[in-house]
Structure 1
Amino acid sequence: MLAAIRSIIFIPVFYGGSTPIIILAFLVALFSESGTHFMGRLWSRYHYLCARLILGIRVKIEGEIRNEPLLYVFKHESMFETIDLLRIFKKPVVIAKKELLVIPLWGWIAKRHGLLGIDRDGGGAAMRQIIKQARKAVAQGRPIIIFAEGSRAHHGQRPELQTGFAGIYKLMELPLVPVALDSGLVAPRDTFVQKSGVITYAVQDEIEPGLGRDDIRDRVHAAINALND
C-alpha cells in the first residue's frame, strides 16, 4: 500500500516537473548541441531526485562507468535505466527502436541529443546508416549504448539477444562492456507501482572486439544476466 501511494505521488511530480524541462530543452536544442546534453542530464538528475525522495530508490554502481568510446550493452528490465543513463554517462549515444523518435517534441530532442533510431525491419541499409552515425559519435569520444534484448524483461527472465546486436558489435570494432542490473525488482514492467530499494548496475569485464557471432552472443547474454543467477 505504501509503495502504491508513493508511486501515485511520483507520477504528477515527475511528469509535471518534466514538462517545463522538456520545453526548455527544446528551446535550448534549437541553438546548442552541448546545451541539449546539459538539459538531458538535468532531466535525468531530476528523475533520480524524485525516485530517491519520493519512492525511496537508490542506485549502486559496481565497477567503473567510463565515458569513453566503448560499446555498452545493458540488461533491460525497467524504464528507470533508460532515463538514468543520461545521469551516469555524460554524453551517451543510445541505439534504440526508431518508434521513440516520433514521440512529439521529446523525439526531436532525443535525436538532437544523440539517440539513434534503428529500423528493425530495415535490413542491411538501416544497419549501415546506424553504424555510420555511431562512428561519428565514437570519433567525438562518446560511448555507444544498446539494450540488446530489445525490450524490457521481468527480473529473472533471460530473453535472447536481438539478431542485430552481433552485427553492431562486428561493424563498430569497439571493446564491449556488458552491464547487468536488477531494476525489475523495484520498478517492474507492467505496473506503475515502484518499490523502495537499491538498483544495482554491475559493470562486467570488458570484452575485446573481433569475436565470432556465437561467441559474443553467448558471453554477453551470460554477462548481462549476472544478477539473475
Structure 2
Amino acid sequence: MVSIFLRSLVYNVLFYVLLVLWMLMAIPTFLLPRRVFMRVAKAWARSSIWLMSAICNIKVEYRGVEKIPNGPLIVASKHQSMWETFALLQFFDAPLFIYKRELGWIPFFGWYLMKSRMIGVDRDGGMRSLMEMARRAPKEIRGGRQLIIFPEGTRTPVDATPNYMTGVGQIYASAGVPCIPVALNSGLFWPRRTFMRYPGTLVVEFLDPLPPGLARKDFIVRIKASIEDATKRLVDAARAEQAQLFGRVPAKT
C-alpha cells in the first residue's frame, strides 16, 4: 500500500501540473474556432489517462464504442468520480457539459468553459435556473452537439443508492434525439474525496442507445435500469480483480 500511496501522490501532482501546462498552451485558441480548443481539451484528457496508466497501473478498457450514434446525442453516464468528466470528451465531436456556474469564475479554466459554450447553472437559482438549462441544452443538442450528462446530478460513491433526477428526462423529451447510457466502475480506482488511485482495470461501457420519443417516465426507468445493472456487473468484476491484486478488496469508496 506504500507503493500505491506514493504512486497516487506523484500522479496527482503531475496531473495538475499537466492541467496547467495544457491551459497555457491553449491560450491561442481564444482567437480560433471552438473546435480547435476542443482538440486541445481532448489531447489533455488522453494525456492524463495515459499518465494514470503509466504511474498508477490503472488499465482503461472501453467497450461498446461502436454503439455511439453519429450527430446530436445525449450521453447519460454513471458518475462515480472526477475521471469521467474529462475521459468521455475524446469520443465526441462537439461535447457539451452542464457545469456549476461558480466554476466559470476560475481564471483560465472558467474562460475555457465559456469559450467552448458549455452551460453554466446557478444551483441556488431554483426553478428559473432549471428552466434556463432545460431551454438551452436541447437547443445546443439539436444544433449538432453531444450532451454528456450525469443523471444523478453529482458524484455518488460505489454502492450508494442511485437517485436519478428528472432533468435529464426533460432535456431528452425536448431535444428529440437518441440517448446512449454509459456504465463504469471508475469509483473503485479514482474514488471521490481522496487522492488515492488504485490499480486494476477501469472499464467504461457504452450501452444500447435509446431511441427518441419515449415517454419521459419510461425513459428514466430504462436508463436507470440499463446503467445500474451494467455498473454492478463492472464493479463486481473489478472487485474480483482487486481481491487478486491485494489479497483483499480495498475499503468501499
TM-score by length of 2: 0.82
Match for residue 160 of structure 1?
163
* Equivalent residue letter for 1:24: M
Structure of higher CA gyration radius: 2
RMSD value, Cα: 2.1
CA–CA separation in structure 2 for the residues paired with 1:223 and 1:74: 11
SS at match of 2:148: strand
Match for residue 10 of structure 1?
11
CA–CA separation in structure 1 for the residues paired with 2:96 and 2:231: 25
Q: How many residues end up aligned between the 2 structures?
A: 229
Aligned with residue 228 of structure 1, among 203, 225, 232: 232
Among the aligned pairs, what percent are the same residue?
A: 34
Aligned with residue 101 of structure 2, among 95, 98, 102: 98
How does 1:144-183 map onto structure 2 within 5 Å? 144-183=147-186
Match for residue 35 of structure 1?
36
Q: Provide, for residues 174-210 of structure 1, a one-character-per-residue CA deviation record: whole Å limited to 9, x for no partner.
A: 1111111110111111211011121111212211223
Greater displacement, 20-29 / 179-188? 20-29
Change (3 A) 1:2 1:90: farther
SS at match of 1:178: strand
Aligned with residue 88 of structure 1, among 85, 88, 91: 91
Asked whether 1:185 is paired with 2:192, we answer no
Q: Which consecutive residues of structure 1, in runs of 5 or more, have no partner in the other structure?
A: none
Please state how far the C-alpha of 1:132 moved relative to its aligned partner.
4.6
CA–CA separation in structure 2 for the residues paired with 1:46 and 1:130: 31
Please state how far the C-alpha of 1:123 moved relative to its aligned partner.
4.9
Match for residue 134 of structure 1?
137
Change (3 A) 1:187 1:17: same
Asked if 2 retains the 8 angstrom alpha-carbon contact of 1:68 and 1:142, the reply is yes
SS at match of 2:9: helix
* Equivalent residue letter for 1:25: A
CA–CA separation in structure 2 for the residues paired with 1:59 and 1:189: 18
CA–CA separation in structure 2 for the residues paired with 1:44 and 1:63: 20
Asked if 2 retains the 8 angstrom alpha-carbon contact of 1:78 and 1:183, the reply is yes
How does 1:111-122 map onto structure 2 within 5 Å? 111-122=114-125
Asked whether 1:52 is paired with 2:35, we answer no
Match for residue 236 of structure 2?
none
Greater displacement, 160-169 / 185-194? 160-169
SS at match of 1:54: helix
Asked if 2 retains the 8 angstrom alpha-carbon contact of 1:131 and 1:172, the reply is no
CA–CA separation in structure 2 for the residues paired with 1:100 and 1:158: 27
